[in-house]
A and B are shown apart, each in its own frame.
Chain A
Amino acid sequence: MPRVLIADDEPHVIRVLRLRLEHAGYQVETAANGAVALDHVRDHQPDVLITDVQMPRMTGRELCEQIQAELPDRKFLIVVLTSRTEVEHREWSRKLTNTRFLEKPASMSQLLAMLDDYFAAQLPIPGGTP
């Protein structure tokens, strides 16, 4: 079962994402900010990291750039899910490898379709089919 790590400071967002992703067959872990998420990644790399940008203590950008620095050969997908739609945020996320940008408010079906496409392209699918 692919593991998804969600980093967001909004509990309602985490709640709905978790609900739908678990329903779709993913194993979900959550972090309330970038710093907690980084600890999770260091302990055990997920198959997908879904992260907000504006978070306390460590922003999504800092988290991604830190992961890029620590794990240059990272295999897992990063989805930047944010309401910060300024060009600069698209720019920095575009420079990272294996990273997608999704604008809030996004529909769950949009997110799930993106993950389906991603895992369909990954052969063999890590952790089995969702």
Chain B
Amino acid sequence: MKQTGNWKRERLGLLMIAASLVAIVFLVILLLAHQRDSRESAIRTRGLNLVQLLSGMPVQELLPKDGQRGLLQVFGYGQRSTEIAYAGLVDPAGRVLNGFTAPGVIMPETKIPDEPSSWLAEQPRDADGRSVIEFHAPLLADGRLRGFIRLGYFKPTLKIGYEQLPFIASLALTVFLLTPIFYLLVKREVSPLRAASHQIDVLIRSDTFQKVDLSATGELSDFLQSFNRFTERSLQRIHELESGGDSLQTSNMLLSYKQGRIEAVLQALPEAIIVLDETGAATYANAKVPGLLGIKRDEVVGQLPREWCVEPDLLAYLSRYQHNTNRGYAEPAVVFSHPQAPEKTIAATAYPLFSPHDPSQTSGTLVVFRDVTQEFMAREARGEFVAHVAHELKSPLNVLHLYSDELLEMGSGDEALRIEAVNVIHDEVDRLSTLINNLLSITKIEMGSMSLDRRRVRLRDLLQDAMESVSRNGRDTDLQFTLDLPRELPPVTVDKDLLRVAVNNLLTNAIKYNRPGGKVTLSAAETDEAIEIRVTDSGIGITHEDQAHIFEKFYRSNEEPVLQKPGHGLGLSLAKQIIDLHHGRLNVTSTPGHGTEFTIELSKEEDLVAQVI
């Protein structure tokens, strides 16, 4: 590779040497050709003059005589044998009468033309393979043609004579000396280009594009200055593009970061989310969609609602957002049942996504699906509760209304009825008051606003008081009341008033749903884990079906003996909530027809915690 590189680099020098050799050869050839032409011209002049001179001489002078050489021989030997091919005297018929030839040359035969105008002329001849220029002239004696003088000169050829060698050598030397000078000059002009080429090579091979500064003189100077400007501009442009690329990359990273964050937010939401584009096709569905809607995410994404939505109300709701770019408000939610689980209620709300550039345009729709089963149940329960409360309040009010009406109507006539009316009104007001108190307590507990006023209480005293109060109210009955308490009962940390309400409600029920001559027992016992308070009666009992519901608000049994007794269905519910508030347990065991036992369990551990607090 390196050798190839060197060879390439020195190619210019080699080319110049070759060119100088060609120039030398060309010059030598030109020189020789010129010499040849000069000699040929000199031969012509000399030949013609000589042949004319000889033709004017008397024939006798020309021919040998008395053993002496004739003029022709003399002439022939006097001439340089290198030029004269032959010289001869021929008769008109062309026969050679006298003459000489150069060594190895035979005088060619010739036929002199008959016309006198052609007697003095030159003709090219061939003598034993060598070109000859022949000059001939007539020999006249006494006005008569006696013969012809033929003079043949070798035609000059291109050949280097020894005498020319110094000249040629000096010429070649000059050319050789000029070649390196030219070479250096050219190299000097070319070197900036080579440097530029090298730098460009480096630029191409390197990863970064750098500024180059090339300089040269002469014509190249302008070119390189332009080139420098070009690279400078290119560099500038590259920097611009690179900084543009950097900001683009930053934007991309920011965008992907934002997208990631938005997606994380959408995934973290408890609701199922589907995003629709302007055409109504879903572009995104979060991970809650399959669980809430029973549809796989890939069945939703890229599809129009009609492809995945089987709920007609929802489909109609969503289709209103399709191709509708001007809708600028969210419609009220549409509520439907889960396709696979009808007990589940789902609410879907669509929110238009406004374009950030043009708030009058929407760029899609955000559809939020929420499981509102609990809300619906709570709403229904709330409605039911209010209806129950209204009914329970109105019932005593109605009785009050009827009796007060009756009192007004009858005046002071019927004393018995008046007493009855007053008693009923008194009882109903009591009933109403209890009902309102129970309602308030239950509502407070359910709202979480009931705070326990826990204090150390002597349980024995509390239970005794409760029993006394209840048995006093039940003194008109023939029930047998028993208080069975151990001698030692540890104090408990409870809300005295609330626990009293709970125990009171259990005792009231035990009296209300008892039988004539029945028993009501209030007992307490201490175990390792808890303190147990038991309210036992020998009453009508609670059926198995009813046992599952007795702690629900407003629940009343449909059993006839129960229906005969007034009640709101709140007493047990309240008792249960009070015990729950104390982190205790309220259990029931009952045998219909034989009696019921309610047990309050107050955990000792819980009691310890309460003491600390």
Contact = CB atoms under 8 A, between A and B. Distances in A.
Interface in A67-106: 83-86, 104-106
Interface stretch (B152-160, B282-290, B390-398, B580-588): B390-398
Contacts of A57: 558, 560, 563
B470 to A, nearest CB: 23
A75 B342 CA distance: 44
Interface stretch (A5-13, A43-51, A116-124): A5-13
A19 interface: yes
Contacts of B405: 16, 107-109
A20 B390 CA distance: 26
A109 to B, nearest CB: 8
A82 to B, nearest CB: 9
B604 interface: no
Given A33-B563, A105-B394, A105-B397, A86 B387 contact: yes
B424 interface: yes
Nearest to A53: B391
Contacts of B400: 105
B211 to A, nearest CB: 88
A115 interface: no
Interface in B377-426: 387, 390-391, 394-395, 397-403, 405-406, 409, 417, 424
Contacts of B395: 10, 83, 104
A33 B403 CA distance: 22
A58 to B, nearest CB: 10
B563 A104 contact: no
A32 interface: yes
Given A16-B406, A19-B406, A10 B387 contact: no
B398 A105 contact: yes
A12 B409 contact: no
B556 interface: yes
- Main secondary structure on chain A at its contact with chain B? loop
B563 A56 contact: yes
A17 interface: yes
Contacts of B387: 84, 86
B402 A13 contact: yes
A83 B409 contact: no
Nearest to A103: B394
B558 A56 contact: yes
Contacts of A109: 405
Given A12-B402, A13-B398, A19-B417, A32 B563 contact: yes
Contacts of A32: 563-564
Given A9-B563, A84-B391, A105 B556 contact: no
Given A9-B563, A16-B402, A108 B409 contact: yes
A33 B558 CA distance: 10
A105 B428 contact: no
B423 to A, nearest CB: 10
Given A83-B390, A86-B387, A107-B401, A12 B406 contact: no
Contact of A12 (B403, B417, B556, B560): B403
A105 B402 contact: yes
A111 B368 CA distance: 53
Nearest to B400: A105
Q: Name the residue among A104, A105, A107 with the largest chain B CB count within 10 angstroms.
A: A105
A12 B558 CA distance: 20
Contacts of B391: 54, 83-84
A54 B556 CA distance: 12
Given A12-B403, A56-B563, A83-B391, A104 B398 contact: yes
Nearest to A9: B563
A16 B402 CA distance: 7
Contacts of B402: 12-13, 16-17, 105, 108
A108 B558 contact: no
Contacts of B564: 32
A40 B217 CA distance: 133
Interface string A14-58: 001101100000000000110000000000000000000010110
A42 B417 CA distance: 33
14 contacts: A12-B403, A12-B424, A13-B398, A16-B403, A57-B560, A83-B391, A84-B391, A104-B394, A104-B395, A105-B398, A105-B400, A107-B401, A108-B402, A108-B409
Interface of B: 387, 390-391, 394-395, 397-403, 405-406, 409, 417, 424, 428, 556, 558, 560, 563-564
Interface of A: 9-10, 12-13, 16-17, 19-20, 32-33, 54, 56-57, 83-86, 104-109
Given A12-B402, A16-B402, A106-B401, 19 more contacts: A9-B563, A10-B399, A12-B428, A16-B405, A19-B406, A56-B556, A57-B558, A83-B390, A83-B395, A83-B398, A104-B397, A104-B398, A105-B398, A105-B400, A105-B402, A107-B401, A108-B402, A108-B405, A108-B409
9 closest cross-chain pairs (CB), A and B:
A83-B394, A105-B401, A16-B402, A105-B398, A104-B398, A12-B399, A56-B563, A56-B558, A83-B391
